[in-house]
Amino acid sequence: MTNTASDFSAFCVAGTGSGDGKTTVTLGLLRALATRGVRVQPFKCGPDYIDPTFHNIATGQLSRNLDGWMMGTEQVEKSFAAASAGKSCAVVEGVMGLFDSSRPGTLKGSTAEICLTLELPVVLVVNARGMAGSIAAIAKGYAEFHPELKVAGVVANKVGSDNHARILKEALDMAGMPPLLGYLKRNDKWILPERHLGLVPSTENPKTGEWFDALASEAEQCFEIDKILELSRIDRPVFARDKVPVTADARLAVARDEAFHFYYEDNLNALRENGVELIEFSPLRDQLLPDNIGGIYIGGGFPESFAGELENNQAMREAIREFADMGGIVYAECGGFMYLAEKIIADGQTYEMCGVVPAEIDMGKQLRFLGYREVKTCCDSFFGPAGTVMRGHEFHWSSEVFTGKEHPAFHFRTASQSGFSGECGYINNNVLASYIHLHWASCPQVLKKFTASLCRRK
């Protein structure tokens, strides 16, 4: 990256693994900085949609995903620089453990890859429950595993007392390891409920402003925030906005409510920058689609948690089916794919859905798939010609059973496969849906084709 002045702090809150408290520590720092009046920009490593919604609440700023496998190095740098413009601090929350990646033997898709790409120092979160001197061994392993990665310090989570924190600090100091920069004591009120290997979304797990303020107050007392900012001074990334003439004139209806809210902010931003007006609507509450739209985009979420309400809103289900039957562009990902199906079967109950995709969705009791996908379109579509390649992420507990003719949308491969091994999704006329959350930074020409298709439809 090409950088200029050094009046900017940026760091990554990384962990030794999932569940170590990265999100809680990140939220405490974000809220404390925002309360101080610091212009702070949050980010999330990896494909996670839920953590960024908590970032948004903590700071009032839209959090951005940074993912080396899906986006590529250039797009990661561009997104970081663009979102950080005008800010005085950037805080990046890691994903899983610091060195966990798309497959063994590579850093691609890891938190470490993002830190190395953006030259970010690491604040390492360690679950210190029942631990004393061992924290020094853990810090040594992470600090020395990759010679180009800088661990600026450690934050201990689930600490038993102030005296316990003192012991941890001395252990790090005496071993010559990165310093203890803060700690959080064990306290059930800081716990964020989990579901399906991730947090319960903020829309279903509302934390009040008082909760964020209390967490920020704890961070001010127990974190050395000024020292963290000083240790994380880096050169400000230069952002040069692409001078692309915007000539599109299209309106896209975007589903947004408690049931559907998983979208990559960079994807939505890219649509706006290409001249697409995004009109939000609620499949839970609205009776009609927005007027004069060129297409519908239904993102992921947890429709199974709101299946009864979605079924009861028959007017919206019929409006979407009619729009699709008339040749309207309909694109859906994961939860949106489930909603377009004929039925969702969950906890022994069957719920009627849109009937646009000839399939029934069965909610399972265990994970069906979790990981990266690279896809190649099976036929021409509003994303481009057959053979168009894109990358994304897939994570679901449900599975589909087609009741009519299957029209697969994609050939796919995982991050560890060398060739495309199967078919997935559904495409028919102007309807395209799958379980995969695509990131269009992996194939920018898709956006131009999609925008042009929306304009023609209008």
Give, for all 458 residues of the chain, the pLDDT tens digit: 434 446 899 999 999 998 889 999 999 999 999 999 999 999 999 998 889 999 999 999 999 999 999 999 999 999 999 999 999 999 999 999 999 998 888 999 999 999 999 999 999 999 999 999 999 999 999 999 999 999 999 999 999 999 999 999 999 999 999 999 999 998 877 677 665 555 666 555 667 788 899 999 999 999 999 999 999 999 998 877 665 555 557 999 999 999 999 999 999 999 999 999 999 999 999 999 999 999 999 999 999 999 999 999 999 999 999 999 999 999 999 999 999 999 999 989 999 999 999 999 999 877 777 889 999 999 999 999 999 999 999 988 898 999 978 899 999 998 878 888 889 999 999 999 999 999 999 998 999 999 999 987 66
What pLDDT is recorded for position 206?
A: 67
> What residue spans of 124-161 are helical by DSSP H?
134-144
What ranges make up the beta strands (E) of 18-110? 40-45, 64-66, 89-93
DSSP states along 226-262: HHHHHHTEEPPBP-----------EEEEEE-SSSEEE
Cβ atoms 398, 363 nearer than 8 A: yes
Cβ atoms 53, 201 nearer than 8 A: yes
What pLDDT is recorded for position 142?
A: 97
Q: Which two tokens stand for residue 126?
A: 């360690």
What pLDDT is recorded for position 2?
A: 39
What pLDDT is recorded for position 371?
A: 87
What pLDDT is recorded for position 199?
A: 60
Q: What's the Rg (C-alpha) of the chain?
A: 23
Which residues are paired to 233 by β-bridges?
9
Calpha distance 301→50 (Å, rounded): 9
Catalytic positions, please? 334
Of the candidates 165, 181, 184, 115, the one whose C-alpha atom is nearest the C-alpha of residue 145 is 115
Calpha distance 380→416 (Å, rounded): 27
- As to burial, measured by CB atoms within 10 angstroms (0-12 exposed, 13-18 middle, 19+ buried), residue 6 is exposed
* Residue 445 parent element (H or E): helix 444-457
Cβ atoms 401, 357 nearer than 8 A: no
What pLDDT is recorded for position 239?
A: 76
Q: Map 175-225 to HEC letters.
A: CCCCCEEEEEECCHHHCCCEECCEECCCCCCCCCHHHHHHHHHHHHHHECH
